[in-house]
Chain A
Amino acid sequence: MSASPLAAIGFRPRHLLGIEGLSAGEISLLLDLSDSYVEQNRERGKKSTLLRGRTIINLFFENSTRTRTSFELAGKRLGGDVVNMSAEVSSIKKGETMTDTATTLNAMLPDVLIVRHPDSGAVKLLSEKVDCAVINAGDGTHEHPTQALLDALAIRRHKKRLQGLLVAICGDILHSRVARSNIHLLSTMGARVRVVGPPTLMPARIEAMGVEVFHDMKKGLEGVDIVMMLRLQTERMQGNFVPSVREYFRLYGLDYDKLKAAKPDALIMHPGPMNRGVEIDSEVADDVDRSLIREQVELGVAVRMACLDVLTRDLLASNSNGGGAA
């Protein structure tokens, strides 16, 4: 991968803190690169040496199994050294712990910090305290950029495009960083986005982000190419946003009946982990012809490899000044 054309194209940001602000070109670049890593991952020998000698720290202030594992695999398949750290946020002062932890880790000279935090903006705050590249693995209800990238990759591999597609994002939009990142990405790439859910789970003035709002599931799914379900994040519920799970499933759970409103070839996605019988019916979730849910997980690793690749590229280039390509 030496003397990559990517270096010439350039990926401006030093960190990946969110999708907002990325250009269509930068997003395409990441997706193209991800495609090549999908191929690498499907080979028997999955490992390359691109990040040999590089240190990647997974710093998770919030529980996560799949995202952390996905990043860990991504780092290891590129030959980097990956360290996992879960910091307990419940202890005394969350923020103090966070900035202190950041400064401490920074002193160990990592090349990439991958951070998840329950507060919006926390990853950006942390990025100001360190010298290495930072990847946002989800901050509060703000952004989860790698999830949006892997969703886009899954869509693009099946529909061969993003431009002009009609995508419905359904469920708990209010608490969803996945929804926000997807809205930014899909709109930037020329897709049309609808958000579907009860008014109590809609953020204020969400239409200002360029989406159409629906409170009726069937109307919202009419003619869409992609149905993107969100987890009903019960752990974030501070009040009674919906009266009961039973009622929620009746009105907003994805089943075959509601799915009939979508295009016949509409695909179903879910960022996981799923609450079967809450936001999605098991049969729909497991429908091999319609559901991309398992593939999303696979593509996640490739997308994260691409992100690690572009964010370390500058370092590699500058370190190899005067010498051979790394």
Chain B
Amino acid sequence: MRLPEGAIAGRTPGGRGGPPLAYVNARLLDPATKLDTLGGLIVRDGLIADLGPHLAKPGALAALGVEAIDCAGACLAPGLIDIRVQLREPGEEHKETISTASEAAAAGGVTTMVALPNTRPAIDDAALVESVARLARETSLVRVETYAAVTRGLNGKEMTEFGLLAGAGALGYTDGTHATTDAQLLRRALSYAKVFGKPVIQHPEEPGLARGAMNEGEISTRLGIPGTTAFAEIIQVERDLRLAELTGGRIHFSCVTTAEALRAIRDAKARGVGVTCDTAAHYFALNELAVGDYRTFAKVSPPLRREEDRRAVVAALQDGTIDAIVSDHAPHDQDSKRLPFAQAAFGTVGLETLLPVSLELVHKGELDLLEVLALLTVKPAKLLGLPDGRLAKGGHADLVLFDPAAPWKIDAKELTSKSKNSAFDGHLTQGRVKRTVAGGLTVHQA
């Protein structure tokens, strides 16, 4: 990770080689241990040195000679682990770079981004995994991990070198925003990935059916926009669950949006199939009405669904069917979005709005704060075998300090991301990041 502005290598408190730093008078929230208490946390050498209620007051630290930051009762939680981010670098640096995405992540309290391999070129070779890691070391404010492509050049035909890719650090395999459709190929991918203990991440849309630009239904008919039926998702998910069952491999569906697909996943989990899934914040916060009068910022893939489906997504978050919440950060420049709806690109930026939009679940009484944080931290981390996403002595000091009640009317123009295509432009939320700490250093401060 690059040093944030103003930090000095080996000198800045909290960072590697620097003096220790304490965060006191904070509401400590650790979903992994269900800790929710007023306390403090000491950071040393980029790691969490100590934490707990005994460090609540600045006075407790004076004796130790530790510099302390008074959090004034704000929530201090593990930094968010966002396991679905499109970085656009290499290849589309006019939309986003690892550097600008990391700034957006920092602004959103995200301390680990897991990148999709759908860059240009696609991340389908060990050397490219390493080059992303190197770029991240040099330019990113937060941790960056990456998936590798299932098939070369995302062509859906020839498998990549799963073993070498895993060796280079890839966390899983996915063809990104397109489903791996060839059943035999996916079967082999699921089988072979078992050797490396990695999941195959699947985009849940059967491409033959998913040719529309929004959810198929009353609104698409009114607007005259070609629709994509919810069955495109259900059919892909149901088939792939059978392949996971057949192979004993691990499949992870990303951005699940429909009641029926979630039901199928719930049932498969009960049968012991190796399946996990996530959804993106917009799928529980918005429905197809957000498309309104041809708003291309609300054009995402899979599409925003009916209100019934949105409610099913909330229910699946409540009952544990959904294992993680992602931003599905998909930056696009104006030329890709200021177009007639059918021609516009799919996707919304999401790193900076992930936390406040997810907190809506808490404010509406649908989940409690620790449950929502678990979906944003320890659960996605565990799913990919990452040690982070928890407040643990000796662990990375990756933290987010936030005020869960602060009101925020999201204004896309004010976002940090290089691209401003937010489906949440104008959305009213509660919850704002006050400070983000990665590797012990403050990478964002409101």
Contact = CB atoms under 8 A, between A and B. Distances in A.
B206 interface: no
Interface stretch (A120-128, A227-235, A300-308): A120-128
A120 B226 CA distance: 9
Nearest to A207: B218
Most buried by B among A119, A122, A124, A206: A119
B365 interface: no
B335 A204 contact: no
Given A120-B294, A204-B229, A98 B340 contact: yes
A234 B217 CA distance: 23
A120 B340 contact: yes
Given A96-B335, A119-B342, A121-B340, A203 B221 contact: yes
Contacts of B339: 94-96, 125
Contacts of A139: 224
A286 B445 CA distance: 76
B182 interface: no
A142 B218 contact: no
A143 interface: yes
B278 interface: no
B294 A124 contact: yes
Contacts of B188: none
B221 A208 contact: yes
Interface string A53-86: 0000000000000000000000000000000000
B383 interface: no
Interface residues of A, number: 27
B222 interface: yes
B224 A180 contact: yes
Interface in B45-69: none
B224 A120 contact: yes
Nearest to A203: B221
Nearest to B338: A99
A204 B294 contact: no
A205 interface: yes
A117 B340 contact: yes
Given A124-B293, A125-B294, A204-B216, A94 B222 contact: no
B227 interface: yes
Nearest to B211: A238
A180 to B, nearest CB: 6
Given A124-B293, A141-B224, A142-B224, A95 B218 contact: no
Give chain B's interface secondary structure class.
Answer: loop
B299 to A, nearest CB: 11
B224, B225, B338: residue with the most chain A Cβ atoms closer than 10 Å? B224
B108 to A, nearest CB: 30
Contact of B340 (A122, A143, A177): A122
A95 B343 contact: yes
B223 interface: yes
A89 to B, nearest CB: 10
A8 B141 CA distance: 62
A204 B227 contact: yes
A20 interface: yes
B402 interface: no
Contacts of B227: 204
Interface string B212-251: 0000111011111111010000000000000000000000
A142 B221 CA distance: 8
B341 interface: yes
Contacts of A109: none
Interface in B294-315: 294
B221 A205 contact: yes
Interface centre among B222, B223, B339 (most CB of A within 10 A): B222
Given A121-B294, A124-B293, A124-B294, A94 B343 contact: yes
B163 to A, nearest CB: 41
A27 to B, nearest CB: 18
A95 B221 contact: no
Contacts of B221: 180, 203-206, 208-209
A140 interface: yes
Nearest to B212: A204
Contacts of A95: 335, 338-340, 343-344
Given A204-B216, A204-B217, A204-B218, A177 B343 contact: no
Contact of A119 (B216, B335, B341): B341
A120 to B, nearest CB: 4
Contacts of B341: 119-121
A142 B223 contact: yes
Contacts of A208: 218, 221
Interface string B368-379: 000000000000
B340 A180 contact: no
Contacts of A125: 294, 338-340
Nearest to A93: B335
Contact of A121 (B217, B223, B229): B223
Contacts of B338: 95, 99, 125
Most chain B C-beta atoms within 10 Å of own C-beta, residue among A121, A140, A142, A206: A121
A141 B214 CA distance: 14
Given A124-B294, A125-B294, A94 B220 contact: no
Interface centre among B216, B225, B340, B343 (most CB of A within 10 A): B340
A125 to B, nearest CB: 6
Interface string A129-172: 00000000001111100000000000000000000000000000
Nearest to A117: B340
Interface in B14-42: none
A120 B223 contact: yes
A98 B220 CA distance: 23
Contacts of B342: 119-121, 140
Contacts of A204: 216-218, 220-221, 227, 229
Interface in B342-359: 342-344
Contacts of B223: 120-121, 142
A143 B229 contact: no
A117 B339 CA distance: 12
A98 B335 CA distance: 12
A205 B220 CA distance: 9
Contacts of B217: 204-205
21 contacts: A93-B335, A95-B335, A95-B343, A99-B338, A119-B341, A119-B342, A120-B223, A120-B342, A121-B293, A121-B294, A121-B341, A125-B338, A125-B340, A140-B342, A142-B224, A180-B221, A203-B220, A204-B220, A204-B227, A205-B221, A208-B218
Given A94-B343, A96-B339, A121-B294, 20 more contacts: A93-B335, A94-B340, A117-B340, A119-B342, A120-B224, A120-B294, A120-B342, A121-B224, A121-B340, A124-B293, A125-B338, A125-B340, A141-B224, A203-B220, A203-B221, A204-B217, A204-B220, A205-B218, A208-B218, A209-B222
| 5 closest residue pairs by CB, A with B | A119-B340, A142-B224, A95-B339, A121-B294, A141-B224
